[in-house]
Structure 1
């Protein structure tokens, strides 16, 4: 029997907290895990030390029914603890973790299609309660169902404030020296105890991931990045591994987690390709639920064909290459960074809203998914791309419009389709749905080849003005009139008799 009739929803979280040793270094000296069993299945889950003598293990049940657990530890007071709970039906809105589906697309564990419209807020979670609450409120009203953000704090222009806490106990803080009109960080001034963690820092990260889960937003968690003045990017291999296992033990039981090994991994010069391969394997073997795994480039692509990579996370401005990347690797393509809507001096952060929307549609029409970011100058340097807050740009409502179209389209996703139109990208599901995007072209007529025995209703879409103009029904080889304007799409939906 389960204890006190405890029930946990499917893909929810069961947590066991036990009091144990606090002296010495329990992060390293205490081994703590649990085996969770359902009928013939047994899953081993690593626990973690959460400070103040509390040791926790978290588990996400994926099957309804009675689960039992038994703990293992090198500490007698933590070893051999047994119990159970009943896994019940998920609540509305809980569809489980996102998985790869149909080779190039995504779906939740219950089969519900997931159409990615993501955004980036690198360190929104390190800005204090007021701004973090504002970011969550903005996300709740946005089209974004995924957000990329970092575990570690980030140092970059427009993001030079210190976080309230650090992931490791801080032994001494760095400073700055002045050269001309600029302050230069003294990196050597920072000293941390990399042999243990600051539980309060990670408890706050837990709460951020949980709040995103409540909003139905996937948390694409960036484990490493190069924009570092504290030394987090230059830890030893042993410290790197201990950090990865700790983060996975804490966060893997949240159903909305994705793992990104790094943002712009190729700019972290002290890590080799073998290091990145090792990080992937550590995360893969530590995560009982096999959440999605990726790595993000600046210039040079990681080899996404490696078996531990679930999908391609790409930085590139040419969305017409999505089809090539799909065919080369045969995994979903997510162009998480295609440049950002904004007006900062850097060329990667000053494209127009119209261009951002264009790149989303172009990537979609080539069978991929695209990510958003926003970098408008702000008197307090509160740029969405880094700190969150509120959105100022014009692309989000138009991305919401695209998301609705995708969610109304084929459940299996849009794949490139040849032979329907020449010279323009076309994606869809043959004999059911076709999406043709004109981009910067402005045809007044499109020559379309449809199956002669099938009938399709046309809709002309203005992707900027968010209008849908119903058209006639067509079959076979036909000429379909268009507005003669750029940034238009033609959708053809099969009419079933």
Structure 2
């Protein structure tokens, strides 16, 4: 059997179905390439079937041997060949300094969007619509929840049962995970990261999944890691708005983050997301803690990106900054211009902003994109696509390029200048472009410039300048 590098190799075994295999049976495998060995946990998938998933990261022949306390699962051996990656497979995303890149060195821009529960309603047609919308969008990451909220009545949950407060939290529902995994694979085919939100505070004791014991939390984490971590497009968000969950302390969240760090063989990107009273206060996590790989922030002002980078040299991703839309919550009714400006403020400082839409869908009981997905409606989407194209044309590390005097962007946001004077580094010549970030145009100025340049802006808002040193 052959599997491409950074693909998924799966072992499927038949084993004991008596009792509770989720708690009674332990299964793992050791995968070896030359002197490199990787341990991967297995999981029970119902109906007497067990699976172990593994992502090979070296081209060549791998061997494996299973380990289990069930004799019929123990000591199974085999080999497979890992071949070079196919087109579009750049490997998993990793953190490099304050930015991201794929394992093969290709740049990755985490321009994400939020669709919390788009996989939970067993609505194939609507999920396919969501995927087609994402395929046509500039977004490279989707934030999506594993667990339900209080208001939801989905046909399947991660745990068996449909009665609030009476779910069987000693077992898992394979049909739920099968759908979730299928959609993760669909995102992988589109080159989109699934930023999986493991816990949140929105159940409020209804289903009984936001106030589980430490043992129950770890039980869920171990199973989820075994099922999903081999997919190269998975990230982990330990919690959304962690500080709104009154059942857990900071120490609890640290322990959960450390557990994911220890039990993920591939060290996928990991973070945790704070809550906030929009425009009033925020409780941003201490991202200097070693288990976090990047800063996942909720805040209303992307102009603070530079401060966050100065305080912690990890990438800044403002996953929630307010959503374009018309709902009556103040986080869900900012304009497309306001959201576009936030993307730009973060980008010029070396950070990233996440998108979301809150335009109620009359065809889906008023559900918005951030809840169910569907069709993207907002005017910020093409502007994010325009920004993405400009970022891909420039250097990977914008702040560093600016410090070297090679390349930089000056962004003016809601200011309406008649003109702007820009002082250029002495001793070099520059090409200057006038960028209309709302009109999505780039107009080169004639000639090259030294020392300084005055650019007429005509009192227009949402303008930017791009300076590029002439080699």
Structures share a fold, TM > 0.5?
Answer: yes
**Residue 290 (structure 1) aligns with:** 267
Alignment of 1:219 with 2:194, yes or no, is yes
Asked if the contact 1:123–1:154 (Cα under 8 Å) also holds between the matched residues in 2, the reply is no
**Residue 164 (structure 1) aligns with:** 155
Alignment of 1:244 with 2:221, yes or no, is yes
- Residue deviations 1:291-310 (CA, integer Å, cap 9, x gap): 00000001311111000000
C-alpha separation in 2, matches of 1:352 and 1:366 = 22
**Residue 414 (structure 1) aligns with:** 398
**Residue 469 (structure 1) aligns with:** 443
Q: Structure 2-normalised TM-score?
A: 0.95
- Cα shift at 1:440: 1.5
1:372 is paired with a residue of what secondary structure? coil
**Pick from 399, 407, 417: which aligns with 1:443?**
417
**Pick from 79, 95, 100: which aligns with 1:84?**
79
C-alpha separation in 2, matches of 1:484 and 1:84 = 67
**Pick from 105, 112, 129: which aligns with 1:134?**
129
**Residue 365 (structure 1) aligns with:** 348
C-alpha separation in 2, matches of 1:10 and 1:476 = 49
- Cα shift at 1:256: 0.2
Show structure 2 runs of 5+ residues with no match.
Answer: 276-281
- Residue deviations 1:180-214 (CA, integer Å, cap 9, x gap): xxxxxxxxxx3011111111111111111111000
Asked if the contact 1:262–1:296 (Cα under 8 Å) also holds between the matched residues in 2, the reply is yes
**Residue 66 (structure 1) aligns with:** 61
**Residue 7 (structure 2) aligns with:** 12
Alignment of 1:311 with 2:294, yes or no, is yes
- Residue deviations 1:130-154 (CA, integer Å, cap 9, x gap): 2111111110111100000100122
C-alpha separation in 2, matches of 1:192 and 1:104 = 41
- Residue deviations 1:78-132 (CA, integer Å, cap 9, x gap): 111111111111111111111112x111000100000121100000111221211
- Residue deviations 1:259-301 (CA, integer Å, cap 9, x gap): 0001100011000111101101110111000000000001311
**Residue 32 (structure 2) aligns with:** 37
**Pick from 380, 389, 405: which aligns with 2:374?**
389
Q: How many equivalent pairs are there?
A: 459
- Cα shift at 1:466: 0.3
C-alpha separation in 1, matches of 2:390 and 2:379 = 18
**Residue 182 (structure 1) aligns with:** none
- Residue deviations 1:398-417 (CA, integer Å, cap 9, x gap): 1000001111110x3222x7
C-alpha separation in 2, matches of 1:390 and 1:29 = 44
**Residue 186 (structure 1) aligns with:** none
**Residue 278 (structure 2) aligns with:** none
Alignment of 1:194 with 2:189, yes or no, is no
**Residue 248 (structure 2) aligns with:** 271
C-alpha separation in 2, matches of 1:201 and 1:161 = 15
- Residue deviations 1:474-495 (CA, integer Å, cap 9, x gap): 1223333333311101001122
Asked if the contact 1:382–1:389 (Cα under 8 Å) also holds between the matched residues in 2, the reply is no
**Residue 423 (structure 1) aligns with:** none
**Pick from 109, 120, 125: which aligns with 1:115?**
109
- Residue deviations 1:321-346 (CA, integer Å, cap 9, x gap): 11101100111100000100000001
- Residue deviations 1:411-436 (CA, integer Å, cap 9, x gap): x3222x7xxxxxxxxx8462321111
**Residue 482 (structure 1) aligns with:** 457
1:216 is paired with a residue of what secondary structure? coil
**Residue 261 (structure 1) aligns with:** 238
C-alpha separation in 1, matches of 2:181 and 2:391 = 31
Q: Structure 1-normalised TM-score?
A: 0.90
**Pick from 405, 423, 431: which aligns with 2:405?**
431
**Residue 148 (structure 1) aligns with:** 143
- Cα shift at 1:161: 4.0
**Pick from 323, 334, 346: which aligns with 1:351?**
334
**Residue 99 (structure 2) aligns with:** 105
- Cα shift at 1:447: 2.3
